[in-house]
Structure 1
Amino acid sequence: MVTTGDTSARPARPARSAARQALSLLSGFVLSAWFGGTLTALVVSLILKSVPLFCWALGGLAAAVLLVAVRARTRRVREGVPVSRVALARIESRRATNGEFADVPVRFDLTVAPDDAPAYRVAVHESVNLVDLADYPEGRVLVVTYREGEPWKVELDRRPTAEWARRAAEERIDTAPEHTRVKAGREGWSWCLVVLLGLLVAVTLVLVRYAGELWEGSGHGAPAPSPTGSRVPGPSSGSTTVTTVTGSASSPSTLRAGEMRRLANTLVTGMGTEMGTRVTIEEKVMSAVGSEGFSADEGFPMSLRAIPYELLPALVDTARTGLGVDTPESWRIDITTGGAGPAPVVRVTVAGHGKSGYLLADAVGRITERHPA
């Protein structure tokens, strides 16, 4: 028996209305935007440590996952289980695309001849063992399967039934013209592009909405410190003043050798006295609390020049590595007397990833207490 490919018409594809396709793309855009927006908001809430935003984003993300699951289930119920069809096919050509392993990918150009539809051309890719490659010569008729409504999804049937194996051995198929060739539909690519667009739009909108808070949280939007030597009213009444100086543009940190001593001299000049009750040192800033009239509540006055600044960077290094704070994000030094006398007490605090710890040291840099995270 000889089968000739009827090429008067191409194999029919399922008709899908433009309205249904547009609705599918629109729903994909909305769901992807919802998912991307809530996920981005969740990350932003963790950065800003905003509990209301975190709760809103977590609830929105859960709702998005639920809607995606419902949509997928509804689509499966509507479309049903794909029906597999069996047909004969003629090998027009074959070409191995890689020969590095025993099983090599082979591109088959086939003429598929369904019993109830016109024959058509299609290209498929199958993995074939090198030993079996000779069993697929050009012109051979073999058995294939394809999905109803998706004729481009063709697979070789390696174990056909006895009846189909007999037909493949006895029947012959004419080559279908090139114009009957079918390819995969473009709906999948359109849907992927729409989903990607929805994600990008949602992420951009959320980041723009919280750009100010993120900028301030990174420290770039913090108010600039007071000019060198300026006096600002302190937290207590009376003659207490707070003087703040910042590091030079060429200095990456106050931990640089000699930088703390230089800033301390600048503080003394700006305050007009070397006596103070508290000194605070951070990455790029040093400030001091001074009082012209001693008050026990403000701490015993100490000499800013007598503080052992050269020993402080080593204490910071010890705090960073020995207090159980993984990858410290910030550090701070507080030097006070606590009203017990003129000898300063140094407290070094490190923090990072929600943890903090501190150590105490005396006036000669000897650690007296450790309080790990």
Structure 2
Amino acid sequence: MTVPAGAPPTHNTPAELALGFLTGGVIGASLTAFIGGCIVERTPLIVTGLVLPAVYGLVFFLATLPRRAREAAVVPRTALAVIEDLEAVKSETSDVPVRFELSVAPADAPAFRVEIRQEINLVELPDYRVRGVVVVEYPPDRPWKTRIMRRPTPEWEERAAKARVDSVPGPAMKIDTQAGRFDGLLTLLGLLLGLAAVLVFFRTDLFDSAEGGSGAPEPTSSSSSSSSTGVVTSATGTVTLGPGRSMLDKGELRKAVESLAEVRDERLALTVVMQDHLLTVVFSPTGARAGGFDPRSLPYDRVAGLVEEARTTLGVDSPQSWQLTADGVTGSLTLRVVVTGDGGTGMLEADAQGKVSRRSGS
């Protein structure tokens, strides 16, 4: 008799939901404080925007350390599995995301059926076919995290070549996407509340300074056309594209950045945030000599490729939105692409030349 080895979590625990809500609040509060502080040139707000996520990251690391230690202590189990179905996703890189549906048959445990996503090198992709037997590895307490072993030991490789694995009836276990959607809504709610909290607690610094006084920003410059609108203040610049246009279209990002840089020709940028129809540039405070980068030095030719790579290689199901942030606060330019979808959130990080240095998925 075949019995599933375990069932994936069908909903998030209250602790996970609270964590998602808190994460959204920290993101909203830190971004609002940082950008607002740059606009009104208030150092406490800028420091709050930079320190808050760092403190939260440290607390999160320490709080999750025991759980990660417990998971790391679990000895993974090796087994044979037969490929019931597979589907490759188009990718511009050498590693192709592939959806596998497997029937896993451990020697000393009940067999189970599971659906996973795993990156496979384009050269090795023909080695995987329906009804082919592969060697897999999985944590006994989390079988939905099964992974295909690309380089099994000679013993297991020989067993896979000779074995015949029967199919496991029934639906394949996988992470429930409905839970991911609800978690995303809570994160968005936390982001909005974090933004509102900063506006309330720092309303004197933000709004009084914006109305007048020695710290008042310079007059706003704006321009618009039938297809795009640009607004530039003393510390920020934004460009909004009209319907049917995207920052990923050829030449659009370069044109938008250069239109803002013309107004603030000698000012470096601290942060550049890009979405499909919106570009925001946060310029360094007047008189600042340290940190920042020339926004015109962005690797324009790599931006569309980085966004596409993040959408297809981070394991985010049905990606719905993306955001690229170019950060030069420390003086070293870093590009981060965050993709959000039904399956959660993934991040891709690259250097000033657009070369990917780190990936993290949901």
TM-score by length of 1: 0.47
Whose radius of gyration is greater, 1 or 2? 1
TM-score by length of 2: 0.48
Looking at both structures, which has the greater relative contact order when contacts are Cα pairs under 8 Å and sequence separation is at least 6? 2
